[in-house]
Amino acid sequence: MKPSTIQTLTEIREAYARNVATCEARAAEHEAHGEHEQALAMTKRATKGRAYVETLDDAIKSLTAKAKIASFSKPTFDEVFEYTQQTFPSWPRDDVRAWYDHFEACGWKMGKGKAMTNWRAGTRTGFTFWKRDNPNKASVTITKAKDDSWGAFLAATGHPKTEMRLAPEVMLQAFEKWRKAR
């Protein structure tokens, strides 16, 4: 929807709101002078005007929401991959590509054909589903143990870091085996 349409509707709404205020003021004047029929007529006009103003408010709100959705700009794969590497370093490039290709193929629409409004939120949801479906690939952060056994394990295996992200099943099993043998 064009912003000029929303602006035009807003101007019409303001004109009707001024008209409602004028009708209410005239109704009060007529009532003060004892002109009950004329006051009643002005009150009816004001009531109809208020209903029309509310209808315009709803239309403006709806058009504004549609305009915000229309302003969504689809990301490039590089943008998505850069974001996911910063946020979810264990999410493999191929799986991020699959997520991106899925939404590219369906025109960046979500369930029930609703347009996507925030691709970053979509990646967070996608990663959650990926973690659920790939528990052995999801990373686990293992920190240095109090007795420094993790640091000793890394030193013995030749890794310089004392904290890292690892595939949990393989490395945890190796760590436990190494700790028991020590």
Identity of the highest mean pLDDT range in 65-74, 104-113, 130-139? 104-113
Alpha helix ranges (H) inside 33-138: 36-70, 77-87, 93-105, 119-133
Kindly give the pairing relationship between strand 140-142 and strand 164-166: antiparallel
More confident residue, 2 or 175: 175
pLDDT per residue over 7-50, tens digit each?
888 888 898 889 889 999 999 999 899 998 988 888 888 888 88
Residue-by-residue DSSP string for 134-159 = -TTTS-EEEPPPTTSHHHHHHHHTT-
Predicted structure pTM score? 0.43
Query: Looking at the predicted structure, is the pLDDT value of residue 141 above 80?
Result: no
Q: How sure is the predictor about 171, in pLDDT bands with cuts at 50, 70 and 90?
A: low
Domain locations in the chain?
3-70, 77-133, 140-181
Distance, C-alpha 82 to centroid of its chain:
19
